[in-house]
């Protein structure tokens, strides 16, 4: 069995130095050795931290204040311009070797305690990730959180704008599908661990958005509209998912493409999502509904959301629109048949509008099936 020290050597770190009980590592560097580079801290047998520092001696002292004691340490000198690249590479290598990291940035999953466990127990989350949609039934009776009046006032203009938009209902029901299946206990975790922005200004001049769900410091799910009047009846959107789970369920990327030929798979590089992440991009409501009702895609999206939410709290809480959440969650009061009927209306309405536009001046038609 490979020891942690052997694992460090295999990914490029020198033999670790024992630092248990030390207050400084200044004696290891003196005045001539470079202090800029990538380091790894051995916090315990199964807890490690990989980081970058311009002055690793000072950084080590800062970590001591946080961790209390550091058992071991290893260091690779790296130039300033290469720090970000090398840190990411070494974190990915460490994960591939199953080294347990307490990092948040670049890792797929972090180890240790989480603030999320204060609202949803670790046992509940283990059950949830096995069947997100079914487990979220346990959240149905959770009362909405109470937010300051200022939070509602801040979003009133945007929610009014969305309600006037022709794609308002389409956006709300799509949001419901995502929240109800891909966010763990959405009522319990709302605001502190995920948020939804309404008519955000992001890319408003090119790819304007209706709704965006975020967690940590990344976007999880987005619905937008087209500036081209000819495409005004359609939405575009993307779902960020855990690629390891997605391809485990489908087998290969090509088999996923066979199941969802209209969905474009794009690589994504969010720092909070780690190395197993892809973005599923959809050009219309129809293409977005299909993956949001596919249990394998739901599991991949839910897994990524949970990984991010376990790492850290949500930094976008100030942009959270509680009015929009209320509209989406009203679908929980409907039966499955009623929700499916509305989804059918969305699909049929879009097809009808596309077919109407496809009629040529000569009277011939190009029908959408």
> Do 133 and 84 lie in a common domain?
no
Minimum mean pLDDT range among 145-159, 230-244, 355-369: 355-369
CB 67 within 8 A of CB 41: yes
E strand or H helix at 280: strand 278-282
- The residue ranking higher by pLDDT, 369 or 27, is 27
- The residue ranking higher by pLDDT, 176 or 30, is 176
Residue 4 CA to residue 103 CA, distance in Å, equals 17
Residue 351 CA to residue 116 CA, distance in Å, equals 42
Residue 235 CA to residue 361 CA, distance in Å, equals 26
Structure tokens at 175: 């949001």
pLDDT band at 365 (very low <50, low <70, confident <90, very high): very low
> Do 149 and 45 lie in a common domain?
no
In a domain, 366, yes or no: no
Minimum mean pLDDT range among 26-35, 281-290, 326-335: 26-35
Helices and strands (H and E) in the chain: how many: 14, 10
| In the predicted structure, residue 103 carries a pLDDT above the cut 50 | yes
pLDDT of residue 274: 87
CB 36 within 8 A of CB 56: yes
In a domain, 360, yes or no: no
End position of a domain, from candidates 47, 76, 96: 96
Residue 174 CA to residue 179 CA, distance in Å, equals 9
| In the predicted structure, residue 358 carries a pLDDT above the cut 70 | no
Q: Work out the number of other CB atoms within 10 angstroms of the CB of residue 1.
A: 3
Minimum mean pLDDT range among 55-64, 137-146, 190-199, 352-361: 352-361
Structure tokens at 274: 């780690």
In a domain, 160, yes or no: yes
Q: Which of 90, 3, 17 is nearest to 49 (CA)?
A: 90
> Do 86 and 144 lie in a common domain?
no
Mean pLDDT of the chain: 91
pTM of the complete model = 0.83
Residue 140 CA to residue 337 CA, distance in Å, equals 18
| In the predicted structure, residue 223 carries a pLDDT above the cut 90 | yes
Residue 140 CA to residue 180 CA, distance in Å, equals 10
Structural domain of 311: 128-355
> Do 83 and 209 lie in a common domain?
no
CB 83 within 8 A of CB 77: no
What is the percent of the chain with per-residue pLDDT over 90, rounded to a whole number?
76
Residue 16 CA to residue 72 CA, distance in Å, equals 6
In a domain, 200, yes or no: yes
In a domain, 207, yes or no: yes
> Do 271 and 313 lie in a common domain?
yes
Residue 241 CA to residue 243 CA, distance in Å, equals 6
In a domain, 112, yes or no: no
Domain count within the chain? 2
pLDDT of residue 367: 41
pLDDT band at 363 (very low <50, low <70, confident <90, very high): very low
> Do 186 and 64 lie in a common domain?
no
| In the predicted structure, residue 275 carries a pLDDT above the cut 50 | yes
Tell which phi-psi region holds residue 112, choosing left (phi > 0), alpha (psi between -120 and 50) or beta. Answer: left
Residue 16 DSSP symbol? P
> Do 175 and 323 lie in a common domain?
yes
pLDDT of residue 305: 97
């Amino acid at each position: 069995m490979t020891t942690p020290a052997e694992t460090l050597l295999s990914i490029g770190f020198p033999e670790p130095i024992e630092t248990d009980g030390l207050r400084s590592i200044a004696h290891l560097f003196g005045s001539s050795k470079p202090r800029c580079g990538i380091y790894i801290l051995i916090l315990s047998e199964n807890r490690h931290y990989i980081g970058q520092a311009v002055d690793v001696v000072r950084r080590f002292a800062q970590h001591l204040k946080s961790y209390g004691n550091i058992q071991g340490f290893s260091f690779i000198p790296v130039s300033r311009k290469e720090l970000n690249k090398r840190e990411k590479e070494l974190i990915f290598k460490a994960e591939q070797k199953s080294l347990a990291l307490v990092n948040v940035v670049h890792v797929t999953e972090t180890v240790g305690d989480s603030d999320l466990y204060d609202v949803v127990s670790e046992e509940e989350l283990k059950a949830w990730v096995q069947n997100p949609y079914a487990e979220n039934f346990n959240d149905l009776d959770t009362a909405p959180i109470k937010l300051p009046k200022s939070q509602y006032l801040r979003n009133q203009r945007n929610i009014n704008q969305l309600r006037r938009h022709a794609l308002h209902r389409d956006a709300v029901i799509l949001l419901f599908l995502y929240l109800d299946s891909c966010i763990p206990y959405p009522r319990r975790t709302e605001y502190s661990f995920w948020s939804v922005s309404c008519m955000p200004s992001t890319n408003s001049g090119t790819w304007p958005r209706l709704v965006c769900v975020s967690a940590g410091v990344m976007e999880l799910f987005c619905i937008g509209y087209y500036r081209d009047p000819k495409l005004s009846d359609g939405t575009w959107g993307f779902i960020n998912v855990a690629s390891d789970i997605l391809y485990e369920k489908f087998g290969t990327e090509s088999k996923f493409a066979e199941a969802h030929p209209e969905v474009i798979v794009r690589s994504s590089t969010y720092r909070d999502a780690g190395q197993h992440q892809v973005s599923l991009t959809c050009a219309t409501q129809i293409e977005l509904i299909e993956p949001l009702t596919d249990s394998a895609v739901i599991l991949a999206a839910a897994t990524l959301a949970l990984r991010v939410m376990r790492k850290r709290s949500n930094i976008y809480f100030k942009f959270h629109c509680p009015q929009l959440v209320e509209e989406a969650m009203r679908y929980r009061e409907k039966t499955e048949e009623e929700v499916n009927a509305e989804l059918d209306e969305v699909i049929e309405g879009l097809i009808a509008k596309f077919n109407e536009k496809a009629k040529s001046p000569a009277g011939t038609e190009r029908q959408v099936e």
